[in-house]
Amino acid sequence: MKLTLNKIAVAAMVVGLGTAATAQEYPYRDITTAVVWGAGGGTDTINRMIMAEMEKHLPVSINVINQTGGVAGSNGLVYVENQPDDGYTLVGLSESNVTAAVQGGWDKKFDYWYPFIVGGSPDLISVPANSPYNTLEELVDAAKAAPGTIPAAASGAGSIHHLNLLAIEQGAGATFKFVPYKGSAPGQEAAIAGEVALVVTSLAEQAALIEGGQLKPLAMLTPETAEIAGATIPSAFSVYDGLDKYLPLKQAIGFAIHNSASDDIKAKLGAAFEEAIASDTVADWASANNYDVGGQYGEEAQALFSTLESTFAYTLKDLGATTVDPMSLGITKP
Amino acid sequence: MDFIFMQLAGFGGAMVDLVVDPLTYVYLISSVFLGIAFGALPGLTATLAVTILTGFFSNKIPLDYSLIALLGAYVGAIYGGSYPSILLNIPGTAASAATAMDGYPLAKAGRGGEALGLTTTASFIGTVIGTFALLIFVWVLLLVSKNIASPEKALLALFGILLSGTLMSEDLVIKGWIAGLVGLAMAMVGLDPLLSEPRYTFGWSYLMSGFQVVPVLMGAFAVPQIIEGLRHVQAGQLTEFSDRIIPRMSAIKKYLPTIGRSGLIGTGVGALPGVGEDVAGWVSYGVGKTVSKNGKKFGKGSLEGLLSSETANNACIGGALIPLLVLGIPGSPPAAALMGAFKINNVIPGPTIDPEIILRVVAILVLASLTMFIMGLFTARIFIKILRIPQTVFLPIVMVLTTIGSFSVGGGINDLYLMLGVGFVAYFMNLLKYPIAPLVIGVILGGLFDETFRRSLLISDGDMSVFISRPGAAILVTLNVALILSQLPATKRTFKWMKGRLV
């Protein structure tokens, strides 16, 4: 009997809260965005920028906090998962978070989220300034002559940069010796020190080193070329046919809300997001920092993340770095 | 030479930026004050001051400002330790232990004001010497460090752990090494850096990201210190003094050679990985005693002895930041806390660190030492009042602050359990006279060692000769081996015997 009473009490409270919530239109109080990566990093910077823009088109303020740690940012994912899906807690995330599930950080497929993609920086392949290789062909030919001996840096195993390295290997038919680094900066430093012969990271991360003449860019891993330091970096797509089967694999940095949030919340955030993405601030920021603006959200963004999720999951599985079988989570092969 | 001018110009720019920003003064004055108070209260150390501020500030305010707060507290706390050393004969921090040797006899002789005034001046000059060494040497090292690859990094990390263990242990060197290796083992927990395999996580996802630096620092440095402070309440008799604090120019001039020498020694000791201000103070005191004409008076109220240790421990700050900024290897325990602050803000110290940050650090240090100097000369009597606050009042407050700080870094409630667990273990290690600093250095450098050691072998296909075939690595291997051998009883006996034969 006591149990039933409790249930009634809970039900009454839920109903009460429900009516209170519908009485006022979303959003009526401040929104919090929990970024799963550290302050000062790419995801953090982008979220702080886009939230400041979105605020202008919403009647409330948005606070950005950081909830870091766990596996592939799982602490922050779990934190937001445990908040109600009322659109008042957003999660700031990036493509790297799609591996949280297969690495045992949490137990949800990525379509748990309703993502908004602000953008990402394209990956490219570079060599130290004093490297004997001047074009991508020379490098690939050298790798074909001695498979698996030329050391290549590309952040950690299973990172977006590692996936790009694997893709160019498959597309060009060459094998390098993959040397993992904790993050892009140490990998780039290793290339400058001559410890590795090439490095695959994003243009945003390499820009200062290319401009300073410490790294020599060989090819963009996107169909487009890029302009930097008064020169044009050719696209790897113009060198090897059929790369489009594997590439481009681009960063997707942005934020998300619970997919279970109401359509009204999704529409309101979507409208503010569209306005923010179209602003000059975002355009200026993107060109100054070598980022491409995305702007996808909702189902379109879910499709992009789902591709990234399956590519990441099965690459990690092949590397033996998954603790959870992607199949058991319902992630299908790419 | 050009390059030194370029550096000075860059430093000038950073200085102007700081001076015109009104917020600078808010952070600077409050943090230096807090630092001196922390240093002055026996039982609270510089490391603790910097660690607590790291927990509170580093993920909440921009790095530019949190650096002001952290460095201000660092400079203030190292200096503040001299108050109780001189007036109570209880070192406020381990860094000021050597200060008490001469400071207290001076105070008893009624020259407390003179001692405090000269100490303040010497601390100021010491900090500035260390800071300019940082400004110049960081660039020399940055040029060299472009060629530092994984094998050298691995050996440097190992050297740091071993050296810290050797110099920080109270009785047996092996205890320091054991503490260092325990730290190294703790660094193995989590996803391994090369293959992303979980290690020692027992299926618990919190452990996948490894032991976080801030809770480990809080646990290792704060918890045992607080328990110890509450167990043995030290109530020293405050020595009164009536002479003037502001020193005479003639006295400063007279002791300038001592101050200069101690500044250089302090900077050098600071630059050694994992060896902090306390060692700097003792080494400089020891050297002073040997070189000085009046060495016999050391320990009986010699101003020279007082200045030897107090200049060196402050000069150590600049020195300790050199390896931190260039290689990501903290030069002292408080620098380890600073490293935590950098990590939280995604700044990775190393060859590609933003030069702006280095210039800003130098400018902050100069301003902080100036603030400390002015506060020390004109508000010294306030700090002396602070000495009267009983430990039973402030230690529990500090415990609460530590807990909040540890939690607020954002790792969740598990960070608190980690902090308490580490604190519990550290307390018993303290009782058994195992030094704690090597453990923390082990946790920080262990990850670096693990990663770079295995990466070296990955690149060389498992060929160990990569550690001796590169010239830099060969030197470091020799240093490591020499360090270990020098502590073996057999070698020690041989040296003694050889010494005996020579004499």
CATH of the domain at A184: 3.40.190.10
Whole-Å CA distances, A60 to A114, A170, A220, A263, B503: 21, 49, 41, 19, 83
pLDDT at residue number B410: 63
Under an 8 A CB cutoff, do A182 and B193 touch? yes
Dist CA A122 CA A252 (whole Å)? 10
| CA atoms B446, B447, B452, B454: torsion sign | positive
Q: Are residues A263 and A159 located together in one domain of the fold?
A: no
Does residue B225 form part of some domain? yes
Percent of chain B with pLDDT over 90: 24
For residue B64, the model assigns a pLDDT of 83
Point out the residue among A79, A186, A192 whose CB comes nearest to the CB of B348. A186
* B141: in domain: yes
Q: Are residues A79 and A112 in the same domain?
A: yes
Of A217, A245, A273, the one marking the end of a domain is: A245
Please report which confidence band the pLDDT of residue A23 belongs to, taking 50, 70 and 90 as the band edges.
Answer: low
Tens-place pLDDT, residues B167-210:
877 788 899 999 999 999 999 998 777 777 778 888 777 787 78
A2 domain-assigned: no
Task: Tell me whether residue B283 is in a domain.
Answer: yes
CA distance B361 to B355: 10
**Looking at the predicted structure, is the pLDDT value of residue B240 above 90?**
no
Residues A81 and A223 in one domain: no
Q: Write out the residue range of the structural domain in which residue A76 sits.
A: 22-120+251-329
Question: What pLDDT is attached to residue A20?
Answer: 46
- Residues A140 and A207 reside in one and the same domain: yes
Q: Which residues pair with A127 in a beta bridge?
A: A216
Q: Does residue B488 form part of some domain?
A: no
Neighbours of B297 (CB within 10 A): 16
- Within-domain flag for A5: no
Q: Which amino acid is at B37?
A: A
pLDDT surpassing 50 at residue A240: yes
Residues A184 and A82 reside in one and the same domain: no
The reply to whether A37 and A75 lie within a common domain is: yes
Contacts of residue B208 in chain A, CB cutoff 8 Å? 70-71, 74, 103-105
Whether A323 is covered by a domain: the verdict is yes
DSSP string, A313-326: HHHHHHTT--SS-G
Residue A9: pLDDT band (50, 70, 90) is low
Q: Is the complex ipTM higher than 0.85?
A: no
Model pLDDT, residue A21: 46
- Final residue of a structural domain among A195, A228, A245: A245
Considering the domain architecture, whether residues A115 and A264 belong to the same structural domain is answered as yes
Mutate which of A75, A107, A181, A319 to disrupt the B interface (most B C-beta within 10 Å)?
A75
| Intra-chain end-to-end CA distance of chain B, in Å | 46
Could you tell me if residue A7 is inside a domain? no
CA-nearest residue to A151 within chain B is B459
pLDDT digits (tens, 9 = 90+) for B313-354: 999 999 999 888 888 888 888 888 888 888 777 777 777 677
Domains in chain B: how many in total?
Answer: 1
Q: Are A255 and A93 in contact (CB under 8 A)?
A: yes
Using a CB-CB cut-off of 8 Å, the residues of chain B touching A177 are 458-459
For the segment A105-134, the average pLDDT, to the nearest whole number, is 91
Q: Are residues A174 and A220 in the same domain?
A: yes
pLDDT for the residue numbered A8: 54
Q: Where are the alpha helices (DSSP H) in chain A?
A: 2-23, 42-55, 74-81, 136-145, 160-172, 184-192, 203-211, 263-277, 280-288, 299-318
CA distance B177 to chain A (A): 27
Residue A88 pLDDT level (bands cut at 50, 70, 90): very high
Asked whether the predicted pLDDT for residue A3 surpasses 70, the reply is: no
- Average pLDDT, stretch B412-437? 89
Tell how strand A89-93 and strand A31-35 pair up: parallel
Q: Please, what is the average pLDDT of chain B?
A: 85
Residue A291's CATH number: 3.40.190.150
- Chain A interface disruption, residue of B208, B450, B457, most A CBs within 10 A: B208
Q: Do A190 and B150 touch (CB under 8 A)?
A: yes
Q: Are residues A43 and A145 in the same domain?
A: no
Q: Both A92 and A134 in a single domain? A: no
**What is d(CA A241, CA B211) in angstroms, rounded to the nearest whole number?**
46
Q: Within a domain: residue A14?
A: no
Please indicate, yes or no, if residue B115 is contained in any of the structural domains. yes
pLDDT above 50: residue A29: yes
Judge whether residue A16 has pLDDT over 50.
no
Residue A334 lies in a domain: no
Residue A334 has pLDDT above 80, yes or no: no
Let me know if residue B493 belongs to a domain: no
The verdict on A129 and A226 lying in the same domain is yes
The burial class, CB within 10 Å (0-12 / 13-18 / 19+), for A232 is exposed
Q: Could you list the residue range(s) of the whole structural domain that residue B93 is in?
A: 2-469
Residue B138: inside a domain: yes
Residue A4 banded pLDDT, cuts 50, 70, 90: low
Please tell me the predicted confidence (pLDDT) of residue B235.
65
Is the pLDDT score of B432 beyond 80? yes
Which contacts (CB < 8 Å, 24+ apart) does range B291-297 have?
Answer: B291/B261, B292/B258
Query: What pLDDT, on a 0 to 100 scale, did the predictor assign at position A176?
Result: 93
Residue at a domain's end among A225, A245, A265 = A245
Q: Tell me if chain B has a CB within 8 Å of the CB of A147.
A: no
pLDDT value at residue A166: 87
When pLDDT is averaged across residues B152-160 and rounded to a whole number, the result is 89
pLDDT for B246-263, tens place per residue?
Answer: 888 888 888 888 999 999
Whole-number Å distance between alpha carbons of A46 and A120: 10
Residue B315's pLDDT is what?
94
pTM of the predicted structure, to 2 decimals: 0.79
- Of the listed ranges A73-82, A260-269, B176-185, B313-322, the least confidently predicted one is A73-82
pLDDT at res. B198 = 79
Same domain, A128 and A219: yes
Is residue A1 a part of any domain in this protein?
A: no
pLDDT tens, position by position, B355-377:
788 888 999 999 999 999 999 88
> In chain A, which residues have their Cβ closer than 8 Å to the Cβ of B203?
104
pLDDT at A18: 46
Say how many domains are in chain A.
Answer: 2
Mean pLDDT of A49-64: 90
Spatial CB neighbours of A91, under 8 Å, sequence gap ≥ 6: A33, A34, A35, A36, A76, A77, A79, A80, A113, A255, A256, A257
pLDDT tens track for B253-296: 888 889 999 999 999 998 888 778 888 888 999 898 888 888 78
Does residue A9 lie within any of the structural domains? no
Q: Does the beta-carbon distance from A70 to B208 stay under 8 Å?
A: yes
Residue B292 lies in a domain: yes
Distance from C-alpha of A64 to C-alpha of A33, rounded to nearest angstrom: 5
| Tokens 């991508």 sit on residue | A136
Dump pLDDT digits (tens) for B44-86.
888 888 888 887 877 677 788 889 999 999 999 999 988 888 8
